[in-house]
Amino acid sequence: MKTEYERLQKRLTYKPLLDKIAKGEALYAERKYEDAIAVFREVLAEIDKSYEFNICEVNRKIGNCYYNMGDRDGAREAFEETLKYCTTNASIYSMLGYLCYYSDNEKSIRYYNKALYLEPLPTCVSNICLTMLKSDRYSQKELKEAIEYQIDRYRPHVLKEDKPFEYQKPQNPNKKLNIGYLSSDFYCHAMMQFVLPLLEYHNQDKFNFTLYSCSNKCDSTTERIKNTGMKFEDCSVLNEKQIAQKIHDDGIDILVDLGGYTHCRSFALFYKPAPIIMQYLGFVNTLGMKEVDYIFADEFVIPKKTAKYYTEKPLYLKSGMHRFDFNSSRMQLPEVNELPYYTNGYITFGSFNCPSKINDYTIALWAKVLQNVPNSKLLIYRTQMTEKIIKKFKKKFEENGVKENRVIYNNIPCKGNHFSAYKLADIALDTTPFNGLTITIEQISMGVPVITLAGESMQSRGCAHVNYVLKLNDLIAENESEYIIKAQKLAGNIKKLDYYRHNLRDILNKSPLRSDPRGFARCVEDGYINAWKDYCKSL
């Protein structure tokens, strides 16, 4: 039986078509992507169907054109066309996994699994772990097992013949600790809004801090971070092994990874570059790495009964695990507006989360809310929504008994500050199992209450945690029925909605989420000291 390569190895020799392919490639190089696509489609219309290799390659080139145009749907269709001719190209499956990420989590996971079956691509390992967080098909126990499986399978490809660093028992358990933070997001990024209150209030007299940046992005937030006076190391050109070696050579005692699988540099942790490794917030679930010792938490986001379903030991912070500050210290929020209800005459529910978080279960849940609140509408606002995604959402809502005129789709960027989009909703509906976190805080800052379903996993308790800290327990549902009932009751209580509209920003600003960052930093530092003492006792 012929192998797939042997079946495809017949190459085109007809010069006019080869010239057209070369013309298309030249247009691609000039970034004239639409013209290049037109030429490549001419080739497909004329090519002998027996030349499967070239048909496959031309479709791939069309996919590259669409991808560079920012047309994910066009790119996905072209790359999927290549699978009719070749099913052994890991990079194609990897690209398809990425392209399906915003529209179909389960399909994305299947493509990533296929890619990883063919080749251990680091981006696929990271992305499949991240995509699994958005699927409603995993319990926390199953999620831990699935992530550990991917990580254990990939570890040998990173370490190869290398061994993790080993450490001797410290001579001085009371030494001044060297703390390192590893991140690709030391710039204007959602993650930094939670990291800034920690970095800016750390006690640099009692600890030495080093920031390891895996990105060369630099902006005013980067400068704000550098102004803390902490040592800032640009590691953007280093590979994982080099990053690990640098951290180890710097004598870091406790390393905190801030990105998890949102960046591939977390695989440097396989080398165990510090005696103690922790992770904070970037991934919002277990990394599944035996090399990582702790995960920042409090007893709300990781209840003690579920702690066994995390590879890491929860570092429970009595202060709560979050503080929040805007990337810009001069952040000026728009004024809070009146409820849209007064103008529209009906309640507008809103979703402002990434469309990748809107799975079939979430749509079915929202459909029940709309059915229980007559005349209400749902606004789904996000600029990443393509027309294909909107078409899919329409079909799913229709299957759940919701007419098309009940859902408003908006993917047009707001003029000026994106906070203006929140003015369009009376009530926000959270996604599940991957909640909004930064988005939740932004919505609350504009007076929009967020109904959320508190799940079992860390990523499904983020919005509930914000509401819990703000003592907005009436917005937290423990099950599907509660979610629907609480949304229905709030929609029928205009007086309460009015109160929320004009008071939530003040409630947020006076809450522990926005206050006492110094106390939060001291609590984290106590966690470092206790972890170090436990480590010293264990040797």
Per-residue pLDDT of 206-265, as tens digits, reads 999 999 999 999 999 999 999 999 999 999 999 999 999 999 999 999 999 999 999 879
Q: Are 523 and 204 in contact (CB under 8 A)?
A: no
Burial (CB count <10 Å: 0-12, 13-18, 19+), residue 387: exposed
Torsion region of 501: left, alpha or beta (phi above 0 gives left; psi -120 to 50 gives alpha): alpha
Work out the average pLDDT over 89-112. 96
- Say yes or no to pLDDT of 92 above 90: yes
- Say yes or no to pLDDT of 416 above 90: no
The pLDDT of residue 7 is 60
- Say yes or no to pLDDT of 2 above 60: no
- d(C-alpha 189, C-alpha 194), whole Å: 10
Helix (H) or strand (E) holding 232: strand 231-234
In the sheet that holds 377-381, the strands lie side by side as 407-410, 377-381, 348-351, 427-429, 450-453, 476-477
Q: DSSP class of residue 411?
A: -
The pLDDT of residue 12 is 74
> Each residue of 465-479: pLDDT tens digit?
999 999 999 999 999
Considering Cα of 302, then 303, then 308, then 314, what sign does the dihedral take?
positive
Q: Are 252 and 210 in contact (CB under 8 A)?
A: yes
Q: How many CA atoms lie within 13 A of 509 on its CB side?
A: 10
Tokens of 195: 């990291």
The pLDDT of residue 1 is 45
Contacts of 67 (CB under 8 A, 6+ apart): 75, 95, 99
- In the chain, the percentage of residues whose pLDDT exceeds 70 is 98
- Say yes or no to pLDDT of 8 above 80: no
Closest CA relative to residue 5, chosen from 52, 60, 47, 48: 52
